[in-house]
Each structure stands twice: as C-alpha cells, then as structure tokens.
Amino acid sequence: MFRKLKGPVIFLLMFLDVQVIVGSTPICVHGHTGCQTLSLADLFDRVIQHSARVHGLSSDLHSEYEQYFLPSKNKISKINRNCHTSYILTPNGKENAQRLAGEDLTGVILKLLLAWRDPLSQFHRSMAQHEDFTSFSGNKALEMSDMMHLLGMISNSVRGLISNEALGPQASSSEARPMNDQQLLYCFRRDSNKIQIYLKILKCRIAPEQGC
C-alpha cells in the first residue's frame, strides 16, 4: 500500500524542491529521457486515491478490531486515547487548513507520514504474534505492512530533503509510548483521514480541474 504513497511522496519531494508548482511536471524521477508527463491534477488524483484507500483500510481494521476484541463498547476509553502524533500541529478545521500555506500543509503531511512509520511496523509485529489478529486482518495486515514499508522509504528520502526545521521535533521511537493495537488503529485511522483531506485541499488549491 505504501507503494501507492510513493506517488504523493515523490510529488511532495518535488514540491519541496521546486517552490513554484507549474502546470505539468514530468514524473520521470530516474532521469530517463522521453518520460511521460503527467498533469498535476492527475498526480494529485492518484495520491488522493491512495490516501483514501489507506484511510478505508484503517477504518475497516479499526471497526473489525472493536468488533472482535471489544464487544462491550467503552466510550470513555475512547476519550482517554492520546495518539502519539498529537504533538503535530495540524489544522483542525477547514479555515485553518485553508489558511495554511502549501508548504506548511505539505510539511504537515510529511510529518504525519513519518510519524507513522515505526508504530505501523510495531503494529505489524504485534499482529504477527497475535494469532487472533490474523484471522480477521488477513489482507489488511498485509496492506498495513506495505504501508509501513512505504512510510519507511518516504521518511528516509524525505529526511534528506526536508530541513529539520520544517519537520519540527520528531518523536523518536524511544519516546513513543507503547500503544495497544486498538489505540493504534484508532489513531492511524484518524491520521489517515487527515492526510487525505489535506491532500485534497492541496489539490483543489493547486489544480482544481477535476474532482473539486
């Protein structure tokens, strides 16, 4: 699944390098000649589709987890959850998100992506240990692992390009509180929705041709 996030990551990299976004940007990143140019709108669409897919997967995983492992719905427990990405300042409303500049918004997205690399791998490990998980996760676990791999690649590539100031303080893996699977799924679902909406806002701001 993270393979599909390669698109947005690549775009984000290019976006960071090039401060001004032009109409069409070649998608050949390996230096091959005669590359096919892809419009920004199409690129955005692909990215958003992938993020939507990620969000859907996370939602499914979360609901299934709650269905199997928490039959008695404890709403109070929901309140106490505190995601590890809470330190990241993200716009919580439409006006806030629209007020943010493109670069800032992209930085927020990248922060979120990076923040989820380790927890996802942790989750994947825990899922492999839990035999109960495999019964219901199935393909979703596989997709989660793919997302983790992609996140890892993104973070490594992004770290070299983005200055530390833009990224802000990073939460190292040591600081990360150990989350249970349910909380992790809840938080990931929320953050994937954030990523999707931020990307959509970016797209409709930059290339509002289709689907806006």
Partner 1 sequence: MHSADPRLTLSSSDLRDCPGPEMMAARHLLLLLSQACLLLETGSLAAAPPLTASEAPLESPHFTACLSREQETFRCWWSAGSFRNLSQPGALRVFFLKKNSLSRTWMECPNYTASVPNECYFNKSYTSIWTSYCLQLRSRHHNVTYDERCFNVEDIVHPDPPVSMNWTLLNVSRSGLHFDIIVRWEPPPSADVKAGWMSLTYEVQYRERNASHWEVLDLETSTQQSVYGLHTNMEYEVRVRCKMRAFDNFGQFSDSIFVHVPGKVHGKESTFPVTVVFIFGVVGLAILFLLIIFSHQQKLMVILLPPVPAPKIKGIDPDLLKKGRLDELSSVLSSHPLCKAEMYREEPWVEFIELDLERMDAAEKTGCSDTQRLLGLVPHLGSSHRLAAKDGDLGRASCYEPELSEADPAVAAAFCLRPRVTSPELQSDRPAPDAGPAPVAGSAPDGEADGRPVIQTQLSTQSSVSMDFYAQVSDVTPLGGVVLSPGQQVRGPGEKGEGGDGQPLKNQKEGQKKEGEGGVEKEVPLPLLIVAPDSGAYTSELGNRQIGSDCSRREAFQDPPAEMPQPPPEKNAVEQFALIVPPAGEYQSPYFIPPTPQLPPVADYTVVQDVDAQQSLLLNPSTPPPPSMAPVKPPPAMPVGYLTPDLLGNISL
Q: What residue ranges bind partner 1 (CB under 8 A)?
A: 48, 52, 55-56, 59-60, 62-63, 66-67, 73, 75-76, 78-79, 81, 86, 90, 92-95, 97-98, 190, 193-194, 196-197, 200-205, 208, 211-212
Quote the least distance from Cβ 76 to partner 1, whole Å.
Answer: 7
Sign of CA dihedral 203, 142, 120, 192: positive
Task: Classify burial at 132, counting beta carbons within 10 Å of its beta carbon; exposed 0-12, middle 13-18, buried 19 or more.
Answer: exposed
3 state SS of 170: coil
Which one, 37 or 82, has the nearer CB to partner 1?
82
Angle between helices 181-206 and 117-129 (to 10 degrees): 140
Which one, 124 or 203, has the nearer CB to partner 1?
203
Residue 5: closest CA among 135, 147, 129: 147
The encoded tokens of residue 137 equal: 């996760």
Quote the least distance from Cβ 199 to partner 1, whole Å.
Answer: 8
Quote the least distance from Cβ 178 to partner 1, whole Å.
Answer: 20
Quote the least distance from Cβ 113 to partner 1, whole Å.
Answer: 16
Which one, 73 or 177, has the nearer CB to partner 1?
73
Quote the least distance from Cβ 188 to partner 1, whole Å.
Answer: 12
Which one, 78 or 177, has the nearer CB to partner 1?
78
Which one, 157 or 193, has the nearer CB to partner 1?
193
